[in-house]
Structure formats: C-alpha cells, structure tokens
Chains A and B, each alone.
Chain A
Amino acid sequence: MTKVIVDGIPIEVPNNASVLQACEAAGKEIPRFCYHDKLSVAGNCRMCMVEITGSRKPLVSSCSQPVMEGMQVTTDSETIRAARRSTMELLLINHPLDCPICDQGGECDLQDQAVGYGRDCSRFTDEKRAVVDKYMGPLVRTVMTRCIQCTRCIRFTNEIAGTAELGGIYRGTSLEITPFIEQGIKSELSGNLIDVCPVGALTSKPTAFHFRSWELKNTDSIDVTDAVGTNILLQVRGNEVMRILPRKNDDVNEEWLADKGRFSLDGLKRRRLDRPWIKKNGKLVEASWTETLQHVADKLKTVSSDRMGAIAGDLCDAESMLALKHLMNALGSSNVDCRQDNAYYDISQRGHYVFNTSIAGIDDADALLVIGSFPRQEAPVLNSRIRKRWLSLTEQFPIGYIGELPDDPTYKVDQLGETPELIAELIAGKHPFSEILKNAKRPMIILGHGAITRPDAKIIFEQTMALAKTVGAVTEEWNGFNILHHSAARVAGLDLGFVPQGQAKDIKAMVNGGVDVLWMLGADEVNLSALPAETFVIYQGHHGEKAASRADVILPGAAYTEKSGTYVNTEGRVQRSFAAICPPGEAKEEWAAIYAVAQLLAVDLPYHNIDSLRAYMAEINPVFAQLRLVQNVVDVNLGDNAQGNFEKQVLRAVISDYFLTNSISRASLTMNECSKLRYAVSAEAAE
C-alpha cells in the first residue's frame, strides 16, 4: 500500500493505483472522459488534470499517473479549473449543440461536465467539422459528429469484446472512429459500446428517440436470456420497459451485459399471452380464469398419477417450478423434467452440475480446457472474463478446446480435436495438453451442453470428472470442474429436484405419449412432433409459440420483468429480481395460478404467498436461503472412471443462432434482424 495525501486527506491505496483512483478513494470527484476503470488507460482527453506538489509539470493527467509514496495531490485550484475549462473548450469546438435531440441528453458526461467547466459562449468562429455516420449494425446508432475521440469504444472492442472491429483513422482534427468493414459489429457485447460512450456518438438504435433518461424508473432485476445471471436494471416508463442496463457486480458481470439481454425487450410486447384460452371443438377460445382453472383441475382429476407430467422451460423462476413440482408430487406424480435439451446431469451433488470455479474465479485460473461448449455464444459475459484472464497473462494462458469451433472465441485456443476420445487421451497422458493441465496450479475444465446433450453424455461427463481428478483440478482450495449452463432456469430446476426420480418418466417419455396430461411451464423448445393428438397439454407461459398453439389450455404467465423471481445462475448463485411492471391483460404470476389449481384439487401447499413460498424453498434446499453468494462445497471425491465408448460424432456447440434462443428473443424484431444479418452474411461467405 502507498500513502498519498489528497487535498490534505491522507489515504492508503494499492501500489499500482493511479492518482485518479487515489483521488476517488479520498472521495474527490475527478472529471474524465477517456478513463474507464475496466479499460486500459489512454490519457487522451486531458480532463482529469490535478496538481502534484513537487512535480515538474504544473498539471498532471491523474488517470495515467501512478501514485508514489507521500505524494501530495491537489484536486481543485484555480490553475486546475482553468486547465479543465480549456480542455472543455477544445472538446466543444467540434461538438454539435444538438443536446435537445440527442438520446444521451440528461445522462451525458460532456453535458454534465460542461455545467462545471464549460464557458457560456464560444470563442470559435470557424466552421465545425462534420463526420459521416458509420454503420455499426442494427443495435448501435451512430452520430459521429458528436464523437470526442475518447477511444473508449476502440478499447472496448479490443480488450473486452475481443473482436477489434473499431479503429481511429486519419489523424489530428480529422480523426474518425470507424469499423473497418461497415457490416455491423460482430460482438455479442456490442450494446456495451453505448454505455461506455461518454457522449451521444453511440446510442441505442432500437430505442432511438423513444424516451428521455429522466423519465425512467429503475428496478433491479436479473437477466434470464443466458445463465450468467447478469445483474440488470429495468428502466420503466408507465407500464413499459424502455431500456435494460447492466448493474455493476464484479463477481458476476462486472459492468457488461450481453446483447440478447439488452435488446430482447421489444419481444416482451409482442406475441404475448394475455388471457386464458381453452380448446373447444378443436379451436382455442377465450375463457375466464375461473373457468380455465376449473377445467385444468377437472382434467387432472380424471387421470391417474403416473399419466400426468410437467416440463419446465428455460426462463422459469424457481418459485413457479417449485409450486408445479409440489403440485405434481402431491397428486402422486414424479414425472417432472426441466431439461428440455435432454442434458445429462449427476445431481447427487451440487458441485457436479454448476460452474464451481465461479466467474470471478476465472481471474485466478492458469490453464483452461473447454469441452463441447462455445462460451462466446452461451455466456458472452463469462467469455469476456476468460478473455480478460488471457490478456492479463499476456496471452500466456493455455486454453485447450475440444469440439468444433463455430467462430472466433476471441482468445487464442489450442484446438486439440473435435471428438470426445481426446478426453481419454488426456487422462492417459498421451496428449501434450495433459502436461499443461497437470503442471497448472489452478486448472479449469469447462464442460458445455454441446457435450452433455449427446447420447454418450454420461461417459463424457464421467470421463471429464476423471480428467479433473487426474490433473488435480479439484483440491481443497480450488475447484476447477465446471458445467457451463446457458439456460437461466436450469440450475434452480436441478436444485429443486425438477427432474424425474427413480422410475418416473423423463421428457422423452412424456412427449412420446408417456402421459395423458402434460403441463408445460414455459417450455417452448421441446420437440412436440411425437406427442399423440389425444394428450392434453396445459401450456403456462408468456409467449404464444408452438407449444402454446398445441395446447388445450393456456394459462397466461408473467415474463421476468413482470414478477419477482429467484434465479440461480450457472455458478449456483441465487439471485432475486423484482417486478418492474404488471403482466399484460389477465396474465398472472405462474406460481399463483398453480397454487389456485392446487386449491381446486384440495391439495394443501404449505405456503400462501410469495414470502412463505420462499421460506419453504429455503427449507427444501438451504442454498435458496443465501442470496447473491456462491456456496459450492468442494468435492474431492469425484466419481470413478466410467467405462463405455464415446460416439464418433464431432462435439458441436449447442447454440446455432445466438439471437434466437428463447421465446422473448424470438418475438423480438431487433433480435430477428440481428440474426438475419449475422447468419445471412456468414451463409453467403460459406458459398
């Protein structure tokens, strides 16, 4: 630690801190444009000037100046103010005065700092420069004349996104920020460019001119479009979510949010199920809740307990899954399954189906093996964490990859092969990469759903565990065995035991005529082609897709923005969201509708409101009692080497279209446009 005196306040900061960070630690606000605490230091805006006693230079840019023992810093003086005013004046030479029509207005760094350091008139009579707008795809709108060349966006694509698409061309007063090829930004994190841009040069294209920032009310929530559990802020006007922003949480998402989570929001208003429907004479007709619930209860009474089953989808909250499982169990059925993709999990221990290392733990890993997963699409924010680790080790972070690479992973990987036999080779030590894993102090293995949704999933899973044991990836101090999920509801489903036990029917048996009544809780990704016509389908969810059109009864549900729910991310971190708006029409929170059905069936569920439900949930599985923490037990006794043969098939990533993985994003026009652009371009290139 280094002692620094900031405006007479003595303070201790880490040795590698900058003067700016020391000033912040002392509670002093330093104006800045180019400095961003998650990006490299550029030092080009010259706004963060401070005085350092004894320095040769009268003013020092604090962001790029490292602290020294006993340094005396002044953050406010007439000289500093004059310098900042001059900087501001220079930045404003070419900046247009279009704040009234600029989407950044009200939350613009330049606007805010102009209040403190701007002159009330301009001394410049020359013409302002104008810059041609650049095309950055359907998500990012550009007004390049507003750009102040802070280069945050360039550094973001270079460092965080890893796609290196933006650059600064020409020089001096002609400097322009541009992508090399104007075909849209290819990163799954491109929406963050809008957040890092301190001015209105990069704004959100889908919501351009839809709102002003001060009209919005904020609600904390959790992103459900992947299993990272990104902490988000739902910004609402009236009963409409206008914008989704990431919340800062260094343990999960730092400051980033994937594009699907940010821009799917228009899907929340389209194809919604807003009232109950009952199929009468082969046609769905509108019905009242009372009639619909009674209809469901009557139907459930007519079938025997082993002829009913429930499937939970990828966006479900833990509360509704618990209620549904509870109802099924109370009726005598154990036919419940939350694995729409037939994935294989060993649920005997929690450590066998979560991302044990934790996302923040990636920062400590020193070798990585990825099997059958493509984190860039399955968990873009987590992928940026892997890239961060790779960069922090000056690209000396060995990353092995088993499976077919669909795209650039944004870091250098050593592609060991495409088939799972390599796992056995690695265990036997026949492959050079097994030495790397063995020599690593904290090796990580990520097993993806591309591997555990195959017919030989069990063998791959057990062999991977054996590999983890062989290379010492799981010790008392370090757990390097990870399952990477991409569905927000999955870990909670597994924690609640929403899987068939013993002789109970799994999803395959259920959709192949194993049950007469099938309750589908937001299960939109199930293949229903083998489902017999006489099976009675209850669809409960928020979007009208294939499953809903097949349904005999539709119970309209609330989307994640409309209910307070509990979600468990891939690390096993239990997080809770709050309702930002009301569900549309007559839609109801799922657990409440299930509870109502239970009452009609005279099933006594031991809770009557959301709080007692959550208390009950914590009783069933204590992990639900601890919010926001990762609480994985390190298990050193991994399963023994399984016998069996691998399939010859190549390991493929499980997501083929990043933008259209759930019912909300499929309903979103923005996501459909992104998908069309991304995959049409690559299809053309393939020809």
Chain B
Amino acid sequence: MSEKSMNKQPAEFAFDQESEQQIEKILAKYPAARKASAVIPLLYIVQNQMKRVTKSAWVPKVAMVVVAKRLEIAPVRVFEIATFYTMFNLEPIGQYHLQVCSTTPCWLRGSEDIVAACKKVTGIKEFGQTSEDGMFTLSEVECLGACANAPILQVDHDYYEDMTAESTIELIELLRKGEKPAHGPMIDRLNSAPVGKKITQNTGAEDVK
C-alpha cells in the first residue's frame, strides 16, 4: 500500500443494512466457534458495499478492523487475507473494473487486441491504472476458467465473452453512458455451445456449414 493510498483511507466504516442481511446468511453457514472462516465472504461484502456507496469497489483498512471485530479475530489476520488475494482491491478503483484475461487460451484468441482496445478507449496507459474520468480501472488477470469463450473481459463480477476489439470498444462506450449490456457471449452463440447452429451427433453432416 503506497503512501498516497493511505491518504484516501476513510475515517470509518460500518456495514449498511443490505450488507448486514448478507452477513447474517453467511455466518449461518459456519459453526459459531469457526466463524473466522467467513473472512473472505465478509471482505467481499465490504468491497460490494463500497461499490454501492462510493462507486469504487475496494476494501479500506478501517473495514478490515470492522470485519475482525465481527469475527473476533485479530485485525492483522484479516489484513493478511485481504493482501493475499488479488481480488480484493486495497486502493480505490474506477467505477468499472475491467479485468482482461491474458493467459494462453485468451492470448491465442487475441486478448492483446482487447487490451489495446481498452487502453485506447479509456486512455489508460498501463495495467493497474484508473482512467482520468474515474470510470475505469484496467487489470490483467490470470485464467478466468472460461477458455471455451476466449477471450474474456470481466467487468466487475460479470464475464463478457468472445470479445473482439470492436465489441470491447462498444461495451466500454455503453458503460460510459451508464448502460450495462447483458453479459455472456458477445457473438451469436448460447453460453459455450458451438457457434451458429447447434451440432449434435444426430444432426447430419449437411447441416454443418
């Protein structure tokens, strides 16, 4: 955590009602003596609440103290978890978190074009930076586990699949306007089914084009 980001740390954090309802459900899953296990879900709840309230999904240090108190563990234990997993943002990020997969399958299917398109539209120079308007943060991530639909652009929690440079630019423009297009494949296919017409063992060879 840099000096600069420390200045952005809020003075206090408290769970809102929506988060409290989620916490109640999460804690019900664990025996009372083992509630420390809920640290990762609770950190997600923090991050989601920050997104809801401040439009920036991140985990401030005060929130780690709040989580630690709720789970009756030392704050440093929460700090260890929050810094270990890259999915927790320890500094404020843009309103939309663009996460491009650049692992081999996505890279073979042209993830470099997606990265270039993201940089071009948002004006971001390097991974990890936030655009000047505060709308987007661009991150490079490892395999998202959806290689059949490579390349993938994950926006916050949603996968936008089968991306091209054009569809990337279109998506980001829409996000900037405040619209949130449906996630999933960006080309004509159902989930990870074959492109175009359905192919099964029973369909004849003539159906394949």
The answer to the question of A359 belonging to the interface, with a C-beta cut-off of 8 Å to chain B, is no
Q: Is the CB of B84 within 8 A of A180?
A: no
**Chain B contacts for A179, CB-based, 8 A:** 76
- Complex CA distance for A167 and B79, rounded to whole angstroms: 8
The answer to the question of A168 belonging to the interface, with a C-beta cut-off of 8 Å to chain B, is yes
- Complex CA distance for A171 and B84, rounded to whole angstroms: 6
Find the B residue at minimum CB distance from A174. Answer: B83
**Chain A contacts for B83, CB-based, 8 A:** 169-171
Residue total for B at the interface (Cβ-Cβ under 8 A): 9
The answer to the question of B69 belonging to the interface, with a C-beta cut-off of 8 Å to chain A, is no
Residues 171-200 (chain A) with a chain B CB within 8 angstroms: 171, 178-181
Q: Among the listed A165, A170, A178, which residue makes an inter-chain contact with B84, where contact means beta carbons less than 8 Å apart?
A: A170
B: residues with CB less than 8 A from A are 64, 74-77, 79-80, 83-84
Shortest CB–CB separation between residue A396 and chain B, in angstroms? Answer: 11
Find the A residue at minimum CB distance from B3. Answer: A132
**Chain B contacts for A171, CB-based, 8 A:** 83-84
- Complex CA distance for A167 and B84, rounded to whole angstroms: 11
Q: Is the CB of A166 within 8 A of B76?
A: yes
Shortest CB–CB separation between residue A95 and chain B, in angstroms? Answer: 22
**Chain A contacts for B75, CB-based, 8 A:** 180-181
- Complex CA distance for A167 and B77, rounded to whole angstroms: 7
Q: Identify the interface centre among A166, A178, A180: most chain B CB within 10 Å of its CB.
A: A180
Cβ contacts A to B, 29 pairs, < 8 Å: A164-B74, A164-B76, A164-B77, A165-B74, A165-B76, A166-B76, A167-B74, A167-B76, A167-B77, A167-B79, A167-B80, A168-B80, A169-B79, A169-B80, A169-B83, A169-B84, A170-B83, A170-B84, A171-B83, A171-B84, A178-B76, A178-B79, A179-B76, A180-B64, A180-B74, A180-B75, A180-B76, A180-B79, A181-B75
Q: When A and B form their complex, which 4 residue pairs have the shortest distance between CB atoms, in order from nearest?
A: A164-B74, A167-B76, A180-B76, A169-B83
Find the B residue at minimum CB distance from A154. Answer: B76
Find the A residue at minimum CB distance from B33. Answer: A395
Q: What range describes how many residues of A lie at the interface? A: 10 to 19
Interface string of A665-686 (1 = CB under 8 A from B): 0000000000000000000000
**Chain B contacts for A164, CB-based, 8 A:** 74, 76-77
**Chain B contacts for A181, CB-based, 8 A:** 75
- Chain B contact residues, majority secondary structure: helix
Q: Identify the interface centre among B76, B79, B80, B83: most chain A CB within 10 Å of its CB.
A: B76
**Chain B contacts for A180, CB-based, 8 A:** 64, 74-76, 79
**Chain B contacts for A170, CB-based, 8 A:** 83-84
**Chain A contacts for B77, CB-based, 8 A:** 164, 167
**Chain B contacts for A168, CB-based, 8 A:** 80
Shortest CB–CB separation between residue A668 and chain B, in angstroms? Answer: 29
Shortest CB–CB separation between residue A612 and chain B, in angstroms? Answer: 55
Q: Identify the interface centre among A168, A169, A171, A179: most chain B CB within 10 Å of its CB.
A: A169
Shortest CB–CB separation between residue B192 and chain A, in angstroms? Answer: 31
**Chain A contacts for B64, CB-based, 8 A:** 180
- Complex CA distance for A165 and B89, rounded to whole angstroms: 22
- Complex CA distance for A164 and B76, rounded to whole angstroms: 7
Q: A169-B79, A169-B80, A178-B76 are in contact. List 15 more A-B contacts (CB 8 A).
A: A164-B76, A164-B77, A165-B74, A165-B76, A166-B76, A167-B74, A168-B80, A169-B84, A171-B83, A171-B84, A179-B76, A180-B64, A180-B76, A180-B79, A181-B75
- Complex CA distance for A568 and B94, rounded to whole angstroms: 66
Shortest CB–CB separation between residue A44 and chain B, in angstroms? Answer: 14
**Chain A contacts for B79, CB-based, 8 A:** 167, 169, 178, 180
- Complex CA distance for A230 and B74, rounded to whole angstroms: 29
- Complex CA distance for A170 and B79, rounded to whole angstroms: 9
Shortest CB–CB separation between residue A42 and chain B, in angstroms? Answer: 14
**Chain A contacts for B74, CB-based, 8 A:** 164-165, 167, 180
Shortest CB–CB separation between residue B80 and chain A, in angstroms? Answer: 4
**Chain B contacts for A165, CB-based, 8 A:** 74, 76
- Complex CA distance for A353 and B77, rounded to whole angstroms: 42
- Complex CA distance for A166 and B77, rounded to whole angstroms: 9
Shortest CB–CB separation between residue A192 and chain B, in angstroms? Answer: 18
Shortest CB–CB separation between residue B82 and chain A, in angstroms? Answer: 8
- Complex CA distance for A167 and B83, rounded to whole angstroms: 11
Find the A residue at minimum CB distance from B75. Answer: A180
Find the A residue at minimum CB distance from B79. Answer: A180
- Complex CA distance for A249 and B68, rounded to whole angstroms: 36
- Complex CA distance for A181 and B79, rounded to whole angstroms: 10
**Chain A contacts for B76, CB-based, 8 A:** 164-167, 178-180
- Complex CA distance for A164 and B74, rounded to whole angstroms: 6
Find the A residue at minimum CB distance from B64. Answer: A180
Find the A residue at minimum CB distance from B1. Answer: A169
**Chain A contacts for B84, CB-based, 8 A:** 169-171
- Complex CA distance for A168 and B78, rounded to whole angstroms: 11
Shortest CB–CB separation between residue A395 and chain B, in angstroms? Answer: 9
Shortest CB–CB separation between residue B181 and chain A, in angstroms? Answer: 35
Interface string of A147-172 (1 = CB under 8 A from B): 00000000000000000111111110
**Chain B contacts for A178, CB-based, 8 A:** 76, 79
